A and B are shown apart, each in its own frame.
Chain A
């Protein structure tokens, strides 16, 4: 899934002093960064603190980001190093798994490492998950196929158009409509 253009634009804005653009980047990558830090630190509070610290470090160092790599690769590196430094400074037990930064995004690990949530948040997250999958099940086939090919298989609009044998404009419209239908179910939970 390509995320270069949006990220590059947002980074450019942050460098120009627009902190609101960084807020978008935080919202976009917060769950991925928390997941990554969760590979190293099992405690929820520590995990959140380290993830926050990583974002703040990224913000402060963003002028040094030259765009040679993708933004999220750079951000993940900062997050992984922040987590490792935290463990080293506290002389904590090292993580059970050695996860390479490049593989961390796809690392499943042990579910026990992620058992750090409070009951309310756990319940809410479970509810969100159930709502989304339920909404997907109820989608018409063309919308379900379009959103599945996009989000799970990571195909581009052009590839989906080839697979579904329809114009790109239709793909774009189907993906949006699928998101819109799911969002209508999801919104009450997050407001």
Chain B
């Protein structure tokens, strides 16, 4: 035992000696060796005047008891951090591919929806024209009082605003004047869309 205690003393002074791993294994597994090591520690602390005014012999046991209690939560945390590390690593590796996949998906969806939307919008225009054809015809028959402007029965396709301007000069100007006047007379904030006022009216009712 004396020889072993000498190894312990040597180890405490940070001199590995022969087979320090085995010595340390023995210390960890033997409470008596731990007590001896602690007493050696106390001798040094006393000589250096580093010993606390009061020592609690059960301090390390309290710490280890708390650690044991928390082990159930501490271990999963360590495992979670490892998992997070792994998932982060895989995310970093896969990030460029994920970006490409998202871009490809967006492109595919855009191309796939483009044609049906185009067709659908054409059909809708036609449908609207056919549904309102009678009303438009009635409007066309009427003369707008005080104006030389006539309303065409022809439904203008999108993007032919210049044509309207050419065929009905002054219409755009009148429309603008109408909008400006009505915006000025509105008691709401200027530029507020008419639908908002209607909603307000409904709510008051």
On chain A, which size bracket covers the interface? Answer: 35 or more
The residue from A3, A34, A125 contacting B14, defined by CB atoms under 8 A apart:
A3
Beta-carbon contact of B78 and A179 below 8 Å: no
Stretch at the interface among B42-50, B94-102, B158-166, B193-201: B42-50
Cα distance, A190 to B56, chains bound together (Å): 10
Interface pairs (29), CB distance under 8 Å: A5-B16, A6-B11, A19-B64, A23-B60, A24-B34, A27-B60, A35-B50, A38-B52, A48-B56, A52-B66, A55-B67, A59-B74, A60-B74, A63-B81, A115-B53, A116-B53, A116-B54, A124-B54, A124-B55, A125-B53, A128-B46, A128-B55, A152-B47, A180-B2, A182-B43, A183-B39, A186-B39, A190-B35, A190-B38
Asked if A56 meets B13 with Cβ closer than 8 Å, knowing A21-B28, A31-B50, the reply is no
Query: B14 — which chain A residues lie within 8 A by C-beta?
Result: 1-6
* Contact residues, B53-83 vs A (CB, 8 A): 53-57, 59-60, 62-64, 66-68, 70-71, 74, 77-78, 81
Q: Are A10 and B43 in contact (CB under 8 A)?
A: no
6 nearest A-B residue pairs (beta carbon): A117-B54, A121-B54, A176-B9, A20-B28, A26-B60, A2-B14
**B interface residues, how many (CB within 8 angstroms):** 54
Contact residues in B for A150 (Cβ distance below 8 Å): 13
**Residues on A close to B: CB < 8 A?**
1-6, 9-10, 13, 18-24, 26-28, 30-32, 34-35, 38, 44, 48, 51-52, 55-56, 59-60, 63, 114-118, 121-122, 124-125, 128-129, 132-133, 136, 147-148, 150-152, 157, 172-173, 175-176, 179-180, 182-183, 186-187, 190-191
